[in-house]
A and B are shown apart, each in its own frame.
Chain A
Amino acid sequence: MNAPVVLDRRRVLQGGGALIVSFSLGRAFAQEGAPAGAASKGPGSLATTPYLDSWLRIDSDSRITAFTGKAELGQGFKTAFQQIAAEELDVPFEAINVVTADTQLTANEGYTAGSHSMQDSGTAILNAAAQVRELLIAEAAARLGLSVEGLSTENGAVVAPDGRRLTYGELVATDMLHVQAQPQSKLKDPAIFKVMAHAVPRVDIPAKVTGGEAYVQDMRLPDMVHARVVRPPSYGAQLVECDSSAVEKLPGVLKVVRDGNFLAVVADKEFRAIKAMNTLAAATKWQERANLPKQDDLLNVLTSLPSQDSTILDRSDSSVSGQTTLVATYTRPYQSHGSIGPSCAVAHFADGAMTIWTHTQGVYPDRQAIAEMLRMPPASVRLIHVEGSGCYGHNGADDAAADAALIARALPDRPVRVQWMREQEHAWEPFGPAMVTKLKASLDAMGRIADWNFAVWSNTHSMRPGGAGTLLAAQHMAHSVAVPPAKPLPLPEGGGDRNAIPLYTFANAHVVHHFIPEMPLRISAMRALGAYHNVFSIESFMDELAQLAGADPVEFRLRHLEDRRGRDVIERAAQEFGWKRDRKPPAGRGYGFAFARYKNLAAYCAIASEVEVNRETGRARLVRAVAAVDSGQVVNPDGLTNQIEGAIVQSMSWTLYESVSFDDTRITSIDWQTYPILRFDAVPDRIDVHIINRPGQPFLGSGETGQGPAAASIANAIAHATGKRLRDLPLTRKRIKEAIDA
């Protein structure tokens, strides 16, 4: 093999790499991190990537490029970042081009996850743009011999009181932006925003509704070939026999790649690759092991596995004690991300360098893992994010990228496109982990919660790459890399214990996290992580306690909540819904309410739901939902509304229908027949989202804040409609019917 090639940024900018980005800048390294002993840290991701030119470039003809290390996953933040940069630079929205995650071009911002994009990258771009604007004004002042005070900016130029104008392109000079960010920026007054806080149409939608090239699935590189992987039939299966002679004779088949238990086929055309995959799969024999747990006994399975226990909240006030006590146990099954488009990647191995186009959520950590798998230096591997189908967490994206890399290495100089099949995505994606929560609380004579006990059992909620052992291809290859030991995600954000600590104030409160290292099924991060089930549990239990106290559920929540912004979203959602104490719903319907602040530090969200339950069939349908959300300073109100609407509808599907099924050996939910999700007959009549804007306040991540409250508000409405409390997710027709009949 040739000596490894190191792709550096300068070479890429000069046109030596696969992606040419033309702007006039010399010394600039996006990957350049904070120098040792850097002074006070800049806001957001400026803390780790402090140079302004890692975030913004201005070229001599005034074209402006904003860079983000985050990946557009369909949340629309690419548009939001463009708004932020345009606003703080005082240029029209259209003047900015946004480049997203690419190991050669953008900052290392880790994963696009945890509702962090606005908080990390949005904040960095906001402050970088404001500081670049100040630098341009200072440069203009020097050139014009004026003081900065009299100068202003408008439409991409610095304007002097006498009318003289210097465009940003005229002002910018080599290295001018290669300076470290200051801890403080002169930010614009939100009262004069022209682009931010406005519902600017998304930049990616026109291509998506006209058949433009919008996804990694749509990439067609010259000489590209199509590959399919033949996956083992189950976890840990060993390939004992594989006769590839028949498949090699099929028309268009270029190569069969076998490396231990990793098996793939490459063909000239896509459907030929599929036929070859089927032929090859039929010519294999695998030795399987029957060691999956009992699907219908997850409560005992999880609470019996060895766990590492930690008390994450311990508050006591011996002067307060409860009189009546309630206990309850809630469970969540394994659930699937269920991307509509199965994972896909394109890889090209040429001149000792590997380039991979992928819809991974973390180009840098995935590069680290793939480089380790290939035993190549990371600098010789480049990952470029290209949108895929929505992922909602760690789906097959990283694995598909690794598959493509492994196959491309066996077929140098030809771009290889790997597309997973539906059953591969469903069977092999890392699922959202199953969870158990046990709650116990007591009320005092005044109907206040005196004592709160919460315990959660869960795996980790992230087995994302970093090391090669998280990748299927690396696990399956002959020199296989072992799955790294699971680690709990640290608080305050947490993983299985995300949102396990209630935001409410209780005199006595005790919260325990039982972290289970052993993972019977392949699991990782799914939208909201543990917060989905923890908020479902807390907010269901709050309703049960309100009922015990004879209190209205909304008033009962407010009784225990001091947080002003939390109270505001609760009051707003209740008011917009028309919530009234003892209000009678129409026959067969119920009202439900729930609230959370995501991670106790991101966006606030309260949701009121009206659910209809058919007592004959047990079928529940969300009729309408009203949400109130506080996400700090709003950048794109329609984008935020879209996220919350989507969260409610998706969480409704998880909550009413979804669980991964398996026998003792194999995953058996392998398509939309065996893993049904919501269809249009279940879509609500209406969803209203009310935004409480907080001008000038920090951005709070909001992509995941709706998942937990939506689930609990639906569960509470079902309880209200039927008088029966369901505590095991999903709240299926069968379970509701059984509860009604019990």
Chain B
Amino acid sequence: MMTLKVNGHDTQIDADPDTPLLYVLRDDLKLNAAKFGCGLGQCGSCTVIVDGKAVLSCVTPLVLLEGKQVTTLEGLGTVSAPAPIQRAFMEEQAAQCGYCIAGMMMRAQALLLRNPKPTDAEIRAELQSNLCRCGTHMRILRAVHRAARLMDTADASANERSGR
């Protein structure tokens, strides 16, 4: 039994220590967003954020995650209260089948956390590790740019409210 902090909550996990994080999220915690795509770290559909960095959950065993903060797409927002990145993907209609999208969004979110105003080249370079088969790439790029603008606006209005 070990404690894992997922989306801000401490959870007790009873899984074999070599279990990749992906299966802990999907099987033990019943979270849907992180997807199995290859199990080899080649496609990025399992991407989640661990301590602020994008991580491939399919090749990251549970035993390495003691004391770390895991964030999945579910932890960012909901349909009724979407996070900027989620709002941006909805507004750009940036999905076809959508299977790769959760991973795309988490990697983009990690980028925007450390670089709030990325260039197009920076977004492309960051998303290089994530595959999309439907060919939704143009919309994904637009959605990440939009998310950056939405986050910027959200920050500005939050600063305004706090009188800064």
Interface residues of A (CB under 8 A from B): 73-76, 201-202, 204-215, 217-218, 220, 226, 251, 269-272, 274, 338-342, 387-390, 392, 419, 421-422, 638, 642-643, 645-650, 652-653, 671-673, 677-681, 683-684, 686-687
Contacts and interface: CB of A to CB of B under 8 A. Distances in A.
A507 to B, nearest CB: 39
A681 B130 CA distance: 11
B90 A201 contact: yes
Given A211-B32, A680-B124, A269 B138 contact: no
B86 interface: yes
Contacts, number: 179
Interface stretch (B14-22, B110-118, B153-161): B14-22
Contact of A211 (B45, B102, B125, B127): B102
Given A269-B23, A390-B99, A218 B32 contact: yes
B30 to A, nearest CB: 6
Contacts of A388: 97, 99
B68 interface: no
Contact of B42 (A390, A419, A642, A672): A672
A207 B134 contact: no
A271 B19 contact: yes
Q: Which 4 A-B pairs have the closest CB atoms?
A: A74-B97, A649-B135, A390-B97, A211-B33
A645 B42 CA distance: 24
Interface of B: 15-16, 19-20, 23, 26-28, 30-33, 35-40, 42-43, 45, 72-74, 77-79, 82, 86, 89-90, 93, 95-102, 105, 124-125, 127-139, 141
Nearest to A686: B138
Contact of A220 (B23, B30, B42, B86): B30
Contact of B95 (A208, A419, A421): A208
Contact of A210 (B35, B78, B141): B78
B159 to A, nearest CB: 27
Given A271-B23, A673-B42, A679-B128, A419 B36 contact: yes
Nearest to A644: B135
Given A211-B31, A271-B16, A647 B135 contact: yes
A220 B127 CA distance: 30
B23 A638 contact: no
Nearest to A269: B27
A209 B36 contact: no
8 contacts: A208-B98, A209-B90, A210-B79, A215-B32, A271-B15, A338-B133, A681-B128, A684-B138
B134 A646 contact: yes
Contacts of B101: 208-209
User: Is chain B's interface secondary structure helix, strand, loop, or mixed overall?
Assistant: loop
A210 B95 CA distance: 12
A418 to B, nearest CB: 12
A632 to B, nearest CB: 21
Contacts of A213: 32
B98 A214 contact: yes
A274 B27 CA distance: 13
B31 to A, nearest CB: 6
A210 B40 contact: no
B99 A389 contact: yes
Given A209-B73, A209-B95, A211-B102, A671 B38 contact: yes
- Which of B30, B97, B125 has the largest count of A CB atoms less than 10 A from its CB? B97
A680 B45 contact: no
A217 B93 CA distance: 22
A342 B36 contact: yes
B98 A209 contact: yes
Given A271-B19, A649-B138, A687-B138, A677 B131 contact: yes
Nearest to A359: B97
Contacts of A672: 38, 40, 42-43, 131
Contact of A209 (B31, B42, B89): B89
Contact of A646 (B31, B96, B105): B96
Contact of A679 (B82, B131, B138): B131
A638 B40 CA distance: 34
Given A650-B135, A677-B131, A687-B138, 8 more contacts: A201-B90, A208-B101, A271-B23, A390-B96, A422-B37, A422-B38, A642-B93, A646-B135
B15 A73 contact: no
Nearest to B23: A271
A205 B82 contact: no
Contacts of A204: 95, 98
Contacts of A220: 30
B92 to A, nearest CB: 10
A75 B95 CA distance: 9
Nearest to B37: A340
B93 A638 contact: yes
B79 A212 contact: yes
A650 B98 CA distance: 15
Nearest to B96: A74
A117 B40 CA distance: 35
A268 to B, nearest CB: 10
Contacts of A653: 135
A210 B73 contact: yes
A75 B97 CA distance: 7
B82 A210 contact: yes
A280 B99 CA distance: 30
B95 A202 contact: yes
B120 to A, nearest CB: 9
A649 B137 contact: yes
A340 B100 contact: yes
A210 B86 contact: yes
Nearest to B98: A208
B160 to A, nearest CB: 27
A205 B32 contact: no
B136 A642 contact: yes
A642 B33 CA distance: 22
Contacts of A269: 15, 23, 27-28
B61 to A, nearest CB: 10
Nearest to B78: A210
Given A209-B73, A215-B99, A422-B40, A341 B79 contact: no
Contact of A645 (B89, B130, B138): B138
Contacts of A73: 97
A387 B97 contact: yes
A647 B135 CA distance: 7
- Which of A226, A251, A673, A683 has the largest count of B CB atoms less than 10 A from its CB? A683
